[in-house]
Amino acid sequence: MADWSAIEALPQVRLEQLFADDAGRLDRLSLDVAGIHFDWSKTHLTADAVAAFEALAKAQDLAGKREAMFGGQHVNVTEDRPVEHTAERGEGAPESVKRAAGYHARMRTLIDAIEADALGPVRHILHVGIGGSALGPHLLVDALGRESDRYDVAIVSNVDGMALEDVFERFDPAATLLVVASKTFTTTETMMNAESVLAWMTEDGVEDPYGRVIALTASPEKAVEWGVDETRVLPFGEGVGGRYSLWSSIGFPAAIKLGWDQFEELLEGAAEMDRHFRLSALHENAPAMAAFADLYYTQVRGAETRAPFAYDERLRLLPSYLQQLEMESNGKSVGVDGRPIGRPTAPITWGGVGTDAQHAVFQLLHQGTHLIPVEFLAVIEAGDTLDEEHHRQLLLNAFAQGAALMKGKANPDNPARAYPGDRPSSTILLEQLDARTLGALIAFYEHRVFVNGVLLGINSFDQFGVELGKEMAKEAAKGGGDFDPSTTDLIKRAGLEA
Ligand code: F6P
């Protein structure tokens, strides 16, 4: 069991006082990596806190576990396999890097063929997948693809037929490529959506709908069995977890929408963050410092949630991407040794887009009873071409909110108008939002999750918690299942008995 006593014993000092006591605070608690500026000076981290976390990291052998991950050892112990997403960007065990490069070459060849009309005319890409097989590519296409007129990409995840119907209304079946993205190639929602797309194509007279399908999967034999021609199956390795898979063939919609060069830039940005994570001392290491702040609030101050706010429309899908990455990875109760962890694990990740969120949920952040570490994300270079006052307002609002959370405002005459202050925030400021910087940013979050996991003794790479609900839904669909009276009644009311 890790010893948290030194961290728990840290003195609790108000943020403004921490600035007053230490002229070097901003320098000590900020750093620049891969075109991204990180500022934790408005969190309660101090030099002593960072030192205490470094000691804990040493005791938990973070350096050894980090090398084990990059070295291709089976750090995903419950599934007895390596963790290979970094190999997708060229950082990892040589055999994994080589295999990933081969898969990328295959993906590139297929994209070249599509661009050369080898599959007939293609204007629309309809990607079906869910969870990690949708959230990552969706984020990439939404963040970076706004100005590209190469292909119309739609990403559909929900089994709710309305999601597909929306796309059917705007896509031409004869000019659509169906991309089925599923690591396992068994996920109910994805397979059902894929079948419905094929039916839509058939009904519209498309002659060989299966000839218009591309599969992105770690189970290529299942894709072939389902009917996809082997030449259009783009595999990736079993060691690439779903929520870590946007770098693999799962990133296909981004690669085709942005072009191959941009996809490579994304991988290179991520690789730059990998090297930073692997080689920097922990007090100068962005993923480690961010994880220390996360852990300080969950373990010492009782924070149950954390809230990233993207002050940039292009990053509006980042909070939901992070929800899966962080909560599916570290939302666990037992450790790698199978024993109860006995302390809080991943906080609930929620968040939104600024400035919209200011007019909706920030009331609670400023005056509510919960302590919520906030993370502001902003980009110096504007994504729009309107009057630059738009972007100026956007950034100034982000910065002012962080300042207000920290400073607060007393009001002895009217408590309803008093702001307690001392509320923590960190800021992540990108110079510009391009493929390279976004790659580095996403890799930063992945490694931050890893550090959190190691310090808590969690295997961040399995997700058994999602299985029970899936099994029960399958039983219900077959008309079976041993359900409680409430659930039985709901099934009956909705007329769903098989
Ligand atoms: O149910 C959770 C999950 O297994 C995620 O971990 C995964 O990203 C998602 O479902 C989709 O899985 P697949 O890519 O195998 O369809």
Q: What is the DSSP secondary-structure string of 69-138?
A: HHTT---BGGGTB---TGGGGT-S-HHHHHHHHHHHHHHHHHHHHHHTTTTS---EEEEE--GGGTHHHH
| CA–CA dist 487, 490 (Å, integer) | 5
Q: How far apart are CA 456 and CA 227, in angstroms?
A: 44
Residue closest via CA to ligand 1's atom 9 equals 131
- 353: enclosing H helix or E strand: strand 352-353
**496: its two tokens:** 């769903």
Give the whole-angstrom CA distance, residue 469 versus residue 21: 51
Question: Can you tell me the distance from the alpha carbon of 34 to that of 58, in angstroms, rounded to the nearest whole number?
Answer: 26
C-alpha span between 181 and 132 (Å, rounded): 9
Q: What are the CA-CA distances from residue 313 to residues 209, 316, 318, 370, 375 (Å)?
A: 36, 5, 10, 27, 16
Q: What is the residue whose two structure tokens read 């290529």?
A: 220
417 φ/ψ angles, rounded to the nearest 5 degrees: -105, 15
Ligand 1 atom at shortest distance from the alpha carbon of 243:
8
For the CA of 187, the nearest atom of ligand 1: 16
Cis before 355 (ω within 30): yes
Whole-number Å distance between alpha carbons of 131 and 250? 11
Catalytic residue, candidates 88, 264, 272, 328: 328
Give pLDDT tens digits for 55-67. 999 999 999 999 9
Substitution site in 183, 186, 466, 474 for ligand 1 pocket (most atoms within 8 Å of beta carbon): 183
Taking the CA of residue 294 as centre, how many other CA atoms within 13 Å lie in the half-sphere pointing to its CB?
29
What residue's CA is closest to ligand 1, atom 10?
131
Q: Which atom of ligand 1 is nearest to the CA of 250?
A: 14
Ligand 1 contacts CB of residue 248 (under 6 A): no
Q: Which residues have a Cβ under 8 Å from the Cβ of 361 and sit 6 or more positions away? A: 352
Going by alpha carbons, the residue nearest to atom 1 of ligand 1 is 466
Other CB atoms within a 10 A radius of the CB of residue 274 amount to 25
- Cβ-contact 179, 233 below 8 angstroms: no
Dihedral, 314, 319, 320, 326 alpha carbons, nearest 10: 140
Nearest CA to ligand 1 atom 16: 182
Q: Indicate if ligand 1 lies below 6 Å from the C-beta of 242.
A: yes
pLDDT tens readout for residues 104-129: 999 999 999 999 999 999 999 999 99
Residues sharing a CB contact under 8 Å with residue 281, sequence separation 6 or more, in sequence order? none
pLDDT computed for residue 2 by the predictor: 81
What per-residue confidence (pLDDT) applies to 498? Answer: 75
Tell me if 57 sits within 8 A of 458, measured CB to CB: no
One-letter amino acid identity for 55?
A
Which of the listed residues 76, 127, 130, 191 should we mutate to test ligand 1's pocket, taking the one with most ligand atoms within 8 A of CB? 130
Nearest CA to ligand 1 atom 2: 466
Kindly give the parts of the chain with pLDDT less than 50: none
In this structure, what are the phi and psi dihedrals at residue 311, rounded to the nearest 5 degrees? -90, 60
Between the CA of 280 and the centroid of ligand 1 the distance, in Å, is: 33
> Does 5-78+265-464 match 86-263 in CATH topology?
yes
Which of 85, 184, 219, 325 maximizes ligand 1 atoms within 8 Å of its Cβ, making it the mutation to test the pocket? Answer: 184
Strands 124-128 and 152-156: parallel
**What residues have CB less than 8 Å from 313, skipping those under 6 apart?**
353, 383
CATH of domain 5-78+265-464: 3.40.50.10490
* Residue 375 bears catalytic tag: no
Sequence ranges of the domains in the chain: 5-78+265-464, 86-263
Residue type, position 339, single letter: R
Cβ of residue 133 lying under 6 Å from some atom of ligand 1:
yes
Q: Which residues, 6+ apart, have CB-to-CB distance to 479 below 8 Å?
A: 497, 498
pTM confidence score: 0.98
Q: What is the DSSP annotation of 57-73?
A: HHHTTHHHHHHHHHTT-
Q: Pick one of 3.40.50.10490, 3.40.309.10, 3.90.1170.10, 3.90.1640.30 as the CATH number of 86-263.
A: 3.40.50.10490
The DSSP bridge pattern shows strands 305-311 and 374-379 to be parallel
Counting atoms of ligand 1 from 1, which one is nearest the CA of 133? Answer: 14
The pLDDT value recorded for residue 480 is: 85
Query: Quick check: helix, strand or coil at residue 490?
Result: helix
> Can 328 be counted among the known catalytic residues?
yes
Which candidate, 11, 21, 32, places its Cα nearest to that of 286?
Answer: 32
DSSP state, 278?
Answer: H
Length of the chain: 498
Query: What H or E segment, with its residue span, contains residue 395?
Result: helix 389-407
Which residue type occupies 152? D
pLDDT tens track for 384-411: 999 999 999 999 999 999 999 999 999 9
**Residue 473 near ligand 1, beta carbon < 6 Å:** no
- Distance, in Å, from the CA atom of 466 to the CA atom of 329, rounded to the nearest integer, reads 11
Of 76, 133, 252, which is best to mutate to test ligand 1, by the most ligand atoms within 8 angstroms of its C-beta? Answer: 133
pLDDT tens digits for range 166-188 = 999 999 999 999 999 999 999 99
* 359 given a catalytic annotation: yes
E strand or H helix at 399: helix 389-407
